[in-house]
Structure 1
């Protein structure tokens, strides 16, 4: 009889940062920085969702395909694409930016500036340079595979409170609601290719070579000691960490809530925050669990990659392919 093991995935990135902050002391010196990172990450994720939702209204008479959040590698050069639109005439790179407030570009100095509501200036990277680098990469990557294709690009600013006073030249830049019209304007003047692109072939090739973004544990990413984190199992009801194991169940001593699967979230937290593997002892220390036998019963239910024997045994989370 085959025993089906339970799968386990990392927490979504924005959610992971949120609960990582919750396990730090209120006076931690990096807490304000992390809260800023959380804001940027969640805003970026919302922006990419808005862009994908708007693209659902995009239509062409001929065949086309779209790929999202694609990573490709060429030697030591790795590039991440927010979106790729593959048409019979060309491939269009979609580059999502979630930047709000007033945006100014100085053609003389090449500086791209954001002015916030308090009048503070922030110098931003010129998004055209990044887009041109991505176009160069994709042409080179496809060229090595004997595919000669026109590659265009579109920079999409997804924040609602974004006001352009001027834009950099060299690439089309728009807001989310304008995106589809800009795509049509890119495609319309292009002459028909006597040999239209083989869309499905290119799509399968890119998907087959997709290299997902590899997340590092947050302690490593933000250089925060594991010892700084609050230990214990999280209670979704009272938001505390006073949850204890009682007769194969989890009970919160703070509010009395019970949750038989509270260890699942704790494991997601550990792998998102600390390391991509853990031992029975490390699991018990993180969850403040006293019983090695109870920890073993929990860990053996999951679809981990297991290395080592006895006390040297480690449980590794499987990476998404």
Structure 2
């Protein structure tokens, strides 16, 4: 097995390990602070709920409080231990964090003896470090697989772009004729984003025209129906990706059957060949391009499922 080492690969590995290491270190710091704190009385000075600027908005919370520890006075802005502060996509969730803390009142803070200036109010760890661990680990794994992958994967496999040889296998997918499945999946991938954008625009318009600052959403209301349409559009898009990915995988199998007797190893076993193909820009033949597209589709599916899972976990 040949290993490719370039400055870019080394830099990317260092970046991934650094990000993951930072997340792991912060989680250890959080755990130590939660397990061995000293409780002190603290005075709440002010609270703040801020929203980020730009298209992708989120909310942050801050509570400034002062306390004494071993004869010295400290001021801290921390609610949770650690240096990675959680963010909130829903304003009510952020506001709920601030509810127990009113300015000019006293409450309990927790101080780690080795970091007395970083007193925090809630004795619990957060999910924030795992974002860094996951991102850094993802970068590290992909870069490692790329480094150990064959350099010519997906190239010169003996399949001509104009070959008309066909096979009789894989003519159906899930009991559906493969060309019908391909057309249906492409239509889903075209229609569902349009439905999502229309429903999202409808929600914004309805909220802007609402006479109240808070809206109770029910499925029978226009806002509820528009939100339901948006959710169904997202699910439909994922279904379209799964169907198209399934069709693309059967196309990959058909191309492998048209190869000469000495076929290259499967790009999905080990996955290092797939990662190399995904990184390759030029020189891929019809087989390599099909593998790249198939791998990309299932990567997008995994990403979307991961995002949905993350939202469900953090919302809970």
Scaled by the length of structure 1, the TM-score of the pair is 0.26
More helix by share: 2
More strand by share: 1
Scaled by the length of structure 2, the TM-score of the pair is 0.26
Question: Which structure's CA Rg is the greater one?
Answer: 2
